[in-house]
Amino acid sequence: MRTENVKALLHRFRMVGLAEGISFLILLLIAMPLKYFFDFPQAVKIFGWVHGALFVTYVWLAFEVFGTCKKSLGWFAKSFIAAFLPMGTFYTDKELKKEEEAL
């Protein structure tokens, strides 16, 4: 694959990772308190769907980067686990940004 395409794939993965991380924080810090403290369950329903779609997209793109860039299985596992941790995708973003800039 050409360098420009790899760089575009890494950038797309980074942007989805940031959006997924932000949606996770919104879900945890805003939507869930709205549901449990203010009896407003629609917030979790809406942000849950958004976060779920971004999560699936993040994992799909992680798999694409894994195959295209010939990353290790450990890299894929770390990226996958990062999606379950608050702020995890922001950590992987720092590493991917360095790699993207190197291309």
The pLDDT of residue 24? 95
Q: Select the more confidently predicted residue: 3 or 64.
A: 64
What distance in Å separates the CA atoms of residue 41 and residue 31, rounded to the nearest whole number?
8
- What per-residue confidence (pLDDT) applies to 13? 94
Q: How much is the pLDDT for 98?
A: 87
Q: What is the pLDDT of residues 6-64, one digit of tens each?
A: 889 999 999 999 999 999 999 999 999 999 999 999 999 999 999 999 999 999 999 99
Q: Return the number of other C-beta atoms located less than 10 Å from residue 33's C-beta.
A: 13
Residue 8 lies in domain: 3-102
Q: pLDDT (tens digit, 9 = 90+) per residue, 67-90?
A: 998 999 999 999 999 999 989 999
Q: Which of 96, 98, 103, 102 is nearest to 79 (CA)?
A: 96
Q: How many domains does the chain have?
A: 1
